[in-house]
Every structure is written in C-alpha cells, then in structure tokens.
Amino acid sequence: MIRATLVGLAVVGAAIPAQAEEVSASTSAPTPSPAPGGFDRFAAPTGQLGAGLNSSVDLRARAFLELGFGHSEWSGPFDAHLNALSWILGGGYRITPNLELVAMLPMGWASVGADDTSESGVGFGNLHLGVNYLSFGGPLRFMAGGAVQFGPWYKDYDSGASLGVSLGHALSGGQDAGLYLPETVTIVAPGRVEYEIDKLVLAGDAALGVHIPTDGGDVDLSIQLSPGAGYYVTPTAQVGLRLPFTWVPTRSGSSATYFAMEPYGRFDFGNLFLSTRLTLNIDDPYGFAFDNGKFWALHVGFGGAF
C-alpha cells in the first residue's frame, strides 16, 4: 500500500562574538574561537532539523513553522497543472539541558486542474511525537532521537485531501515519508551532527524509519542521508547547500531512491530565525524538478526559542 501511494505520487505528480581567552603563548596552545553562529546553538536550516535549539537554561522551549509551495505541469495529449502547499507546525521543550520533547504536525493542500476540470483538498498528515538527546558547547554538536508518527484521521480523506497531504513527500525531496503516508505507523530515529570551523559549518542529517501499514500491507524500511555545508557570510546570515538522499531497500525501481538538492539561507534575529530553501528533485520519481510532470518546491520557515 505504501509502495502504491508513493509510486502513484510519482505519476501525479543556524550570534555570539568570538572571544579569545588571554593565554601565555609560551605555555598554552591556541584554542579555537567560536564561529559567527556560536557554539551554543545549532546551525540547522530548519526547525525540523534543529533551528532554534540552544544551550541557554533560560530558553528551554522553541516553536517553528515551515511553509512550502510546490508546482508541476504536464503537457502532451492533455495539459494539466498542479499547485501544492505543505506546512509543518512544530515545537519542542527541554525537560533537562540535554533532553528535548518534540512534536510536529504536517498539513497539506493541493489543487490539480486539467482542461475544464479541477480538484482540490486540504488535510492533516501524521502527528510526530519524539524525544531528542542534544550535545552543545563546542565546535562539534549533535542530536539523536526517536519518534512515532501516526494520524488516525488520515484514512477518512477524499482524494483531494489525500493528494494534498501526500505531496508533502515530493515537496520535501522524497524525505520524511512517515509524515505523509496514510494509514501507516512509522517508527523513526533521526539525527544530526555539525562541526563548525570559523565561518564554515559541515553538517549531516540522517534518519532510519520503519513504516508499518495498519491495513496489513508490507512493511517498508527507509534510510535517509543528507550531507551539507553552510557558510556564515555575516555573524547572523548563513547560506548553504544540502543533498538529501533516501533509500528504501524494501522496494525496487524508481521508487526505491530519492535524491534532491537544496540551497538554503538562514537569518538570525536574536533568539528568532528566518530561513528559506529551494528543493530541486534530481531523479525519478519526482525529478528532474522542472521537467514535465515533476516537482520543485520553495520553502519559507521561521521560529525561535523562548
């Protein structure tokens, strides 16, 4: 059933100033200075990946919202177009300095039109409830966690609402299937690692997911790997690039792998952030982004800690 859902879609289409401690050059080795983003916060481009997380004991909570707009067109025997909006509302609360409870809820809307006919719908995806372990305080930072994703309301949607939600998978470059699959319980273990060198941030995101249909269908396994790098052009502005890749070893053909490219920008305003990214699907089933019947998406996100 999961296989059919995603294959069907393929067809339808991170400031603190650097401070140097005074040391004797004859007795002490030099120590690294914090990069413009600061060692006390994650340099992630989105709230879902950790933007808004910092080590301050006075800022235990965070909230974020990301909105994505996607588009696809068909031409041939008939002309058609598809517009989609996908958004994620999320938040987290650190119950200890290094342990965060996190929740996210995706939503989606789509409108598809061909000739004189059209269909549209809106709905909620699968609720994400999880816990993350966090490590701050140096050039190396990481986050590792676990979560369950499920939305019992999903099964009652009409075709327009189901399409609206499911297209979130295409708009996110084939990632995070557990947020968008109908009638499916997903157990996922996400993680992120960052290493900051002066103005450069080297990062990697990963997730292992087990997708269990509630109707007795085949269980799927997914593996996500997303290397990336960011550069602080100013102490509060970062630009970068991610390369999301997903492999579903339980499938074969074009629906077994998803690859995308995501240039992004992140801008910090005290404890708040604003981000934007462009998702360009590279290969089948959702790419190449601007080809006939394929998908691209523009995202804007914001959030902060409080």
pLDDT in tens, the chain (306 residues): 444 444 444 444 433 333 333 333 333 444 444 445 556 889 999 999 999 988 887 889 999 999 999 988 887 667 788 899 999 999 999 999 999 999 999 999 998 887 777 788 899 999 999 999 999 878 999 999 999 999 998 877 887 888 889 999 999 999 999 999 999 999 999 999 999 998 999 999 999 999 999 988 899 999 999 999 999 999 999 999 999 999 999 998 888 999 999 999 999 999 999 999 999 999 989 989 888 888 999 999 999 999
Q: How many CA atoms lie within 13 A of 6 on its CB side?
A: 30
CATH architecture of 2-15+31-305: Beta Barrel (2.40)
Nearest to 205 by CA among 35, 6, 94, 45: 45
295 half-sphere exposure, CB direction, 13 A CA radius: 31
Rounded distance between C-alpha atoms, residue 127 and residue 165, angstroms:
12
**Angle CA(24)–CA(25)–CA(26) in degrees, nearest 5?**
90
Q: What is the pTM of this model?
A: 0.84
> Which amino acid belongs to residue 174?
G
- Of 221, 302, 240, the C-alpha closest to 268 is 302
Sign of CA dihedral 76, 78, 79, 85: negative
Q: Which residue has the tokens 């974020």?
A: 64
The structural domains of the chain, with segments of one domain joined by +, span 2-15+31-305
